[in-house]
Amino acid sequence: MILPGATLGVLGGGQLGAMFAMAAKRMGYRVEAISDVADCPAAHQCHRVHVGAYDDAEWLAQIARGLDVVTFEFENIPVAATRALERVVPVRPAPEVLFTTQNRTREKAFLVANGFDCVPHRVVGSGLELRAAVAALGLPSVLKTAAFGYDGKGQQFIQQGADTGAIDAAWETLGPQELLLEAWVDFEVEISVVAARGWNGETAVFEPSRNVHRHHILDMASTPAELPAAILATARTTTAAILEALGVVGVACVEFFVTRDGRVLVNEIAPRPHNSGHLTIDACETSQFEQQVRAICGLPLGSVRQILPAAMANLLGDCWHNGTPDWPAALAVPGVSLLLYGKNDPRAGRKMGHLTACAKTVSEAIENASRARKNACRF
């Protein structure tokens, strides 16, 4: 076990790293971030930030000698960086988990090999292969880059009835590189499940959240998800099984499509805390970030019991279009809390913070979170 008083390292300087540091410091740990950017959200919460290049193995090894364990807060970092650290200090989740999940092709291969239901897909490496994949899967479909895609980036929607010219244009936009074509899923709702797994195999699974996206970015997450018990049970057991098959030590999130005929299909795996899990900070006995600390340190996992129904509304840079948002108006709404990430540049589409509303019912929580955001952003 790595007990309070030890020094934890987090690879990446974003808001997930900052919230991890907040939870770890509360438990008595020292936290140091490893980032390629000095002015980052984690810099406001960590005891120290090491700034350098992720491909500098010697620099990483030097930092690792002062750490007791390292985790990561986003997956778009070189696997080589985690392997350089692992030669000196434990890295949790392991570099192989990152290797599998940061690439859509490898992730889908893992899901298929282990018998997890996922979206029908084809790997394509040329315009001709894309045409063949379209013929096999049909239209509409979604063409995605294998790596470095999030919040809708690196994706092209190919419409129903698209001709070969439109298909070739999609390839020209994202290629030439390895791409993944996914069949369009006529889903009823998107849900996600955050879970933690300890070094001894102990697993704690949070309740699934119902997610609503706007322009491919999570807009609102709420729980309870208010879906049939069988669907929720499938999502939870599938998530636990995925973490076990991957050998995760830490926190991960599995995103699902729930189809109109009741199937639960894995969409993506995030090998770290997730945007949809931010509501656990206010709504659950143990937050996803405290679970991350507990898991990577070998401590017993905390209770995932939800105290109250909750909804989390993202605050994007768009909220600053009329100047500084009206925070008093937001916080005047009952049961609402505010968490800002410490980012200085409120660009459109950039996640700047979130509002969480807890209430007696999930519908009331959703209404209050929406109202608080509307009040703050003057929409």
Quote the tokens at residue 64: 């690792």
Domain residue extents for the chain: 7-91, 120-183, 187-377
Contact residues for 370 (Cβ-Cβ < 8 A; gap 6+): 220, 311, 313
Relative to beta strand 187-197, strand 209-214 is: antiparallel
Percent of the residues in the chain that have a pLDDT greater than 70, as a whole number: 99
274, 221 contact by CB (below 8 A): no
Express each pLDDT in 56-84 by its tens digit: 999 999 999 999 999 999 998 999 999 99
Residues across the chain:
379
Banded model confidence at residue 149, pLDDT cuts 50, 70, 90 = low
Instruction: Provide the whole-model pTM.
Output: 0.95
Architecture of 187-377 per CATH?
A: 2-Layer Sandwich (3.30)
Average pLDDT of span 286-296? 98
Provide the pLDDT for residue 104: 94
Provide the pLDDT for residue 41: 97
The CATH number given to 7-91 is: 3.40.50.20
The CATH number given to 120-183 is: 3.30.1490.20
Banded model confidence at residue 32, pLDDT cuts 50, 70, 90 = very high
Rounded to 5 degrees, what angle do the CA atoms 278, 281, 286 make? Answer: 120
Provide the pLDDT for residue 175: 81
Provide the pLDDT for residue 158: 92
